[in-house]
Amino acid sequence: MKARKVFFGLFALTLVAFSVYLLRWIRPPEDKPTAARKCLQYLVERNADALMPYITRQEAEATGLTSDGLQQLFDHVLNPRLAGFEIASEIVEERRGATVVAGYRLRHPDGRSTFLGVEVVDGENGPVLQQFVYDCVLTALEAEFPSDPSQRPPTIGLFAALQPPLSNLLPTLKQLQIRGVYLRMKASEDPKLYTWEELLAFYEQRADKYQPTLPTQRKS
């Protein structure tokens, strides 16, 4: 009798664990625009638990990303650097026929602006987020830039412009329960993990090649 109770107890625990797995990784079918708008709303709400099922397994495994780590990213990186920003416009568009981008252009009363958004692509079991952690960090970094297009760094000098705020943010990033970012830096390469130090080194390398006139950077 005791052995039977142990068996059914273990079976119940296994069933619960499997149910959690299904809820986490298997979702009802939805198209990319719908998923993009949904994920954007979760991002605005800073709902880490709702966003995690859309994170690819590759990104989660490479970066060690969990709901707790994602919430830390929101609490210690996004929220402080987006304080005072307001939504100026909404963007939902399909790029290159494969990626749907949904987001908000944010503006601050002091003249700065940035873009808060998500990139959604087709995954094995439905739409998934692409390079989500990096996009969040990029939003925080670009929050240092003025909204006036004539004062923002040119595309060719973007890495040079982003290097100072990334350097200032590095101590905070290293305290997160996230190893770095998972992304493809070159079209010819597969996505891979860049630790926070490797990401800064990459930016510094690009900054050495091009030094434009940069907007004034504020210390974090």
Question: Please, what is the Cα angle at 97 between 91 and 103, to 5 degrees?
Answer: 15
Task: Give Cβ neighbours of residue 116 (< 8 Å, ≥ 6 apart).
Answer: 43, 44, 78, 82, 103, 104, 106, 139
Global model pTM greater than 0.85? no
Q: How many whole angstroms separate alpha carbon 93 and alpha carbon 112?
A: 23
Q: Would the pLDDT of 24 be above 50? A: no
| Domain-wise residue ranges, the chain | 29-209
Question: Please, what is the Cα angle at 22 between 16 and 24, to 5 degrees?
Answer: 105
Token reading at 212: 């434009």
- pLDDT tier for residue 150 given thresholds of 50, 70 and 90: confident
Pair 219, 168: CB distance under 8 Å = yes
- pLDDT tier for residue 220 given thresholds of 50, 70 and 90: very low
Report helix, strand or coil for 70. Answer: helix
Task: Give Cβ neighbours of residue 165 (< 8 Å, ≥ 6 apart).
Answer: 140, 141, 144, 217, 220
Pair 91, 114: CB distance under 8 Å = no
Pair 92, 30: CB distance under 8 Å = no
The beta strand positions in 54-153, using DSSP E, are: 86-95, 99-107, 113-123, 126-129
The owner of tokens 């940069």 is: 214
Token reading at 95: 């790029």
Token reading at 16: 């619960």
pLDDT tens for residues 38-87?
999 999 999 999 999 999 999 999 999 999 999 999 999 999 999 999 99
